[in-house]
Structure 1
Amino acid sequence: MKTDPEIFIRDNTDVLAPPHVPEVRLRLATEAHDLWLKTEEELEEIGLPPPFWAFAWAGGQGLARHVLDHPGLVAGKSVLDFASGSGLVGIAAHKAGAAAVLAADIDPWSETAIRLNAALNDVVLGYTADNLVGRDAGWDVVLAGDVFYDRAFADVLIPWFSTLAARGATVLVGDPGRAYCPRGRMEALATYAVPVTRALEDSEVKKTTVWRFKTIP
């Protein structure tokens, strides 16, 4: 029997405030391992990707914090929240005054998580499950939290983000020191100490930097 995403998310998460972004409430998992097992068992799929939508990752928390503290970055602008996951960064952008926010994530479960989380925060986000890499819909600002964890993914993101920045978009990345973060292509805007779940990371606090892609590749 097919699992209903909304029922599953409501049953396996709690409404919590991410520690670095207390202004936002999200449906988050409290035990990463238990949720992973339940996801595999209930969906009866082998090798199902981890439920990224169920956690407030360090890169997203740092980026959301920076947007809320510097609303001028997004106020009155069109924003893409790329690889949105829970919708945390997009919600922060909306709260900071963005004119429109599109949350993009190819995981179909993210659509339900983002809808539920947006409702918790009394905001409305657009959503797409399309793979937007390489596309340009004229967004003023592109936000991406914690996306440089994989070499192959980084190899397609870096030229895309560089092209967007070159035509005038503000491209901001929140990164907690992932191996494939292209630091030489960006300028650091701020660094935060973000509390995280030890079950997901190798420490309880991750040093997280908000970067801006340079306009000249």
Structure 2
Amino acid sequence: MNTDPDRFIRENTSVLSPPHVPEIRLHLASEVHDLWLKTEEDLEAIGLPPPFWAFAWAGGQGLARYVLDHPETVRGKRVLDFASGSGMVAIAAAMAGAADVVAADIDPWAKTAVRLNAALNGVAVDFTNDDLIGRSVDVDVVLAGDVFYESEFARSLVTWFSAVAKDGCVVLVGDPGRSYRPTGQLEELATYQVPVTRVLEDSEVKKTTVWKFL
């Protein structure tokens, strides 16, 4: 069993640019099912989650595009990329001039994915495995791509994001129409048509909106 995350990621991904943010290069799965099955075979025994870090999800692509196109959103600021996965949005923030960027993800292998991907793009991104939901965060901007995919998780995020925004932090989310996105607490900032993998999304393009959390 190959349980070395650095070696596993290098051997089972390709360096690709997400279609909506071609400025960024990432270690991504080129064959979705092959990597997913290999991960289950190699890692299920030690209890690791599916390799969400290996895909450029639509919400993250839209949010990363917004940050790159509107660098004033993060320039000179302390930024947290929540549920970072591959680190795509964190990398976009660093490229846009953020003073400090922390990627947060509870998947322990995301730490290696973020490190490798940040190095590919020549930027500095810190990482935390801490579960931050419900905690106060000492940052200016929270970015979250594609997080409203499960009911209970989404409810906990709405409560947390509301508290963080009330404390004066800007909270931006990228969402491609997930079922549990809150409807009454968001201000629309931009909408994109994001190319995606049909195997993951049952579509070749997902309408993706960047929202500011109120």
Counterpart mapping for 1:37-56 below 5 A: 37-45=37-45, 48-56=48-56
SS of 1:50's partner is coil
Check conservation: 1:40, 1:46, Cα contact below 8 A: no
Distance 1:108 1:46, change over 3 A: closer
Measure, in 1, the Cα distance between the counterparts of 2:94 and 2:143. Answer: 12
1:207 maps to 207
Measure, in 1, the Cα distance between the counterparts of 2:6 and 2:136. Answer: 31
Check conservation: 2:2, 2:8, Cα contact below 8 A: no
Offset of residue 43 of structure 1: 2.0
SS of 1:30's partner is coil
Measure, in 2, the Cα distance between the counterparts of 1:104 and 1:156. Answer: 16
The letter for the 1-side match of 2:123 is V
1:198 maps to 198
Structure 1 spans left out of the alignment, 5+ residues: none
Give the count of matched residue pairs.
Answer: 214
Offset of residue 44 of structure 1: 4.3
Check conservation: 1:193, 1:208, Cα contact below 8 A: yes
SS of 2:40's partner is helix
Offset of residue 167 of structure 1: 1.5
Deviation sequence 1:114-155 (CA, Å, 0-9, x none): 000000000111100010001122210000000000001001
Measure, in 2, the Cα distance between the counterparts of 1:47 and 1:2. Answer: 14
Runs of 4+ in 1 over 6 A off after TM superposition: none
Question: Could you say what the CA RMSD is over the residues aligned between the two structures, in angstroms?
Answer: 1.2
Q: Taking every aligned residue pair, what percent have the same amino acid on both sides?
A: 71
The letter for the 1-side match of 2:175 is D
Check conservation: 1:176, 1:209, Cα contact below 8 A: yes
2:118 maps to 118
Measure, in 2, the Cα distance between the counterparts of 1:207 and 1:46. Answer: 36
1:62 maps to 62
Counterpart mapping for 1:64-79 below 5 A: 64-79=64-79
Structure 2 spans left out of the alignment, 5+ residues: none
Offset of residue 202 of structure 1: 1.5
